[in-house]
Amino acid sequence: MQRCLDLSNRVQGVPSTALLWLQILGRGVIKGTNLRGLDLDNANQLARDFAGAADILRSWGVTACDPDFSQQIRECFGDKGSPDFHAAFRLFDLAKRELEAWDFADVLHAYWKGLRLKQIEDSADVVIVDEAQDNSWIQLYIAQLLTMSGRVILVGDCRQAIFEWRGACPSVFANASATIKAARCDLPRNYRSGRQIVAVGNAIAEGQEWSLGAVSASARTTDGVVRILEGAMNPHDEAAQIAHEIQVAVDEGGAKFDDFAVLARTNAAVGQIECALVAA
């Protein structure tokens, strides 16, 4: 039974993925082995970089056990694949084997390998992949292996691709008409945003290599509002500006606090905004 590094309720003695990378790059003993870390300068920063690079490699089906491992790193990263990364990735793989543990990327790889070698029998007549622009190569390959008839439906928008940092490959989706002979059907109606917002989105996407499909058209009758804030604004200043505008609207415009909702991309941003609202 494999134990997962990425779960909050891990088995005692199994470190998180982040902690294991820190041990590998630091100077202490690496959990699960009798080996010491590589004692690299700036281990904290390198741990994040190396973990991200390892995830990208594995999203393309590459593992440290592959005989042409070094060549595959060069193909993915060029000369950026440093000897330190080679050594760290091999130690990461060794430590996981000794701990009998794996992470989420290993789970995907094992499932892909099992399907490819027919060690796992899973299939469907039709496979539908939503948000396909944010799937990695290995995820989309799994979708192909799962379908007995070869019928795969990819639903997505390359203009909304935001997960390339973890190996998502929107080009696989964008080129599906050539690579898997997929027919494309554009769905240009935008039911979410007002006309002005859609127009700005179209203008930004026009002529870009990542822009695929027909120009969007708003299905709503409202215009929506797009404002450009002057000058570069850090998260703290942006949160203060949001709080100020709400305060002015309540104090001078007769608005109620229940009239407002603030949407943020990350929980960290929510914390900044909450602090600014409390301060105001």
User: Given this model, what pLDDT does residue 199 score?
Assistant: 95
User: Mind listing the pLDDT tens digit for each residue in 189-216?
Assistant: 999 999 999 999 999 999 888 888 889 9
pLDDT of residue 195: 95
Chain segment 35-48, per-residue pLDDT in tens: 999 988 888 888 88
Q: What is the pLDDT of residue 216?
A: 93
pLDDT(232) > 80: no
**pLDDT of amino acid 10:** 65
* 3-class secondary-structure state, position 116: helix
Question: pLDDT tens for residues 62-77?
Answer: 877 777 767 767 666 6
pLDDT per residue over 120-177, tens digit each?
988 888 889 999 889 888 998 898 889 877 788 889 888 888 888 788 878 888 888 8
In this prediction, residue 269 carries a pLDDT of 83
Quickly state the pLDDT bin for 231 (edges 50, 70, 90): low
Name residues whose C-beta falls within 8 Å of residue 173's C-beta, 6 or more positions apart in sequence: 132, 133, 135, 140, 154, 156, 158
pLDDT range class, residue 261, cuts 50, 70, 90: very high
User: CA 58, CA 70: separation in Å to the nearest integer?
Assistant: 13
Is a pLDDT exceeding 70 seen at residue 78?
no
Is the separation of the CB atoms in 47 and 85 below 8 Å? no
Looking at per-residue pLDDT, the higher value among 60 and 246 belongs to 246
Mean pLDDT score of the chain:
85
Residue 277: band (very low, low, confident or very high) from pLDDT cuts 50, 70, 90:
very high
**What per-residue confidence (pLDDT) applies to 158?**
86
**Mean predicted confidence (pLDDT) in 233-259:** 90
- pLDDT beyond 60 at 79: no
Q: How is 121-181 classified by DSSP, letter by letter?
A: ---EEEEEETTGGG-BHHHHHHHHHHEEEEEEEE---GGG---GGGTB-HHHHHTHHHHS-
* pLDDT band of 1, cuts 50, 70, 90: low
Cβ-Cβ contacts under 8 Å for 43 (sequence gap 6 or more)? 22, 25, 26, 37
Mean pLDDT of 248-271: 89
